[in-house]
Amino acid sequence: MTPMPINIGNTAFMLLCASLVMLMTPGLAFFYGGLVGRKNVLTIMTQSFVSLGWTTVLWFAFGYSMCFGPTWHGIVGDPTHYAFLRGITLHTMFTGNDAGIPLIVHVAYQMMFAIITPALITGAFANRVTFKAYFLFLTGWLIFVYFPFVHMVWSPEGILAKWGVLDFAGGIVVHNTAGLAALASILYVGRRKVVENVPHNVPLIALGTGLLWFGWYGFNAGSELRVDSVTASAFLNTDIAASFAAATWMLVEWMNARQPKFVGLLTGAVAGLATITPAAGYVSLSTAALIGILAGVICYYAVALKNKLGWDDALDVWGVHGVGGFIGVIFLGIFASKAWNPMGADGLLSGQPGGLAFFGKQCAAVAISSVWAFGFTYGMLWLIDRITPVRVALAAEEKGLDTELHGEEAYPQGL
């Protein structure tokens, strides 16, 4: 059998996209770092960068194999098949499509998704979780939540993929699971004793948003795993949804708070990016604009509901990523069109046979992922608490976690 030739254009594009997605994790660190108080900047940023390193170790050891190795009942891949990336050489090709990219490129690209997903959760329990507990949380959550759902949704052998569930770039796999894990975390850990709801550095938030927005083009457009017209539509849909959501959030907040808020504009953009993610390569450009508008409205009021209920989701992970990912998957079930991706599906409003069934599958898949991500996360935190305290002491919270946990300061006094 003649080996598949390497497609230089697709390979170069996917390496660029992997680089863009990698940049999102430092971008998230800046975004979260600007939102917290001065005494906890380094702690929240450390959590993102720890994922950048430790997730890579797990991915190399068995993570990629659990995601894309031979299946175990469609739920998870064999962790030993690609363990330590054995058997993967310069000549091993990715066989998921005919794009002609080496398997090592797919390994690298998917690794960047694995890195940022658990880092998203950290914004929910900001300023009140010990580093040892976070390290155990990061490890367990990847193994028992993220890796299995990647396999179920994105592996051709996955049970949800075979059922016909679609998720272009991570509405289920990334944002919904992270958002529901965030909700479980805040309910288990409880409210902060020292509440700092005023961002300490808005320009830092803007920098983080810019890096996230820029990286998201690799996140969404790269998920086509090749360069074609669907790649281009996913790219443009990403920007359209983010822009419409940012403007919508700003206008809704302006109407309610009587002032247009810069942080609201930035948060709205991230909500639009999260919401379009599952649908980016399956819907039209006008639908992306509608999804952006709906994301701006729904996520804004989800955050308002969270505040009314007294949930201390410090950086609004559930309201932005959880709700955004959830409704994005639902919108995909409603608006998907094979006219924009022949390999996709026709949604509920298409009028085509199978539209209702596809919508039902999307709803069921996002419900399953929600229940598992929430339930396992809550149970895992309870178990970790039996091993080492999850929550920091009140004195540490008052003094700030940067000095108490890491012995470092972002802004040393007198300098």
How far, in Å, are 120, 185, 198, 302, 305 from residue 182 at the CA level? 8, 5, 20, 14, 15
For 111-123, give one letter per residue: b (16+ CB within 10 A) or e.
bbbbbbbbbbbbb
What was the pLDDT predicted at 339?
95
Confidence at residue 197, expressed as pLDDT on a 0 to 100 scale:
76
Burial label, 191 (beta-carbon count in 10 A; 0-12, 13-18, 19+): exposed
The CATH number of the structural domain formed by 8-406 is 1.10.3430.10
- Going residue by residue through the chain, which has 415 residues, state the pLDDT in tens, using 9 for 90 and above: 556 789 999 999 999 999 999 999 999 999 999 999 999 999 999 999 999 999 999 999 999 999 999 999 999 999 999 999 999 999 999 999 999 999 999 999 999 999 999 999 999 999 999 999 999 999 999 999 999 999 999 999 999 999 999 999 999 999 999 999 999 999 999 998 888 778 999 999 999 999 999 999 999 999 999 999 999 999 999 999 999 999 999 999 999 998 999 999 999 999 999 999 999 999 999 999 999 999 999 999 999 999 999 999 999 999 999 999 999 999 999 999 999 999 999 999 988 889 999 999 999 999 999 999 999 999 999 999 999 999 999 999 889 999 999 999 898 875 5
**Domain ranges for the chain:** 8-406
Return the pLDDT at 56: 98
Q: pTM (2 decimals)?
A: 0.95
Q: Answer whether 230's CB lies under 8 Å from 281's CB.
A: yes
Specify the pLDDT at position 2. 58
Pairing of strands 76-77, 71-72: antiparallel
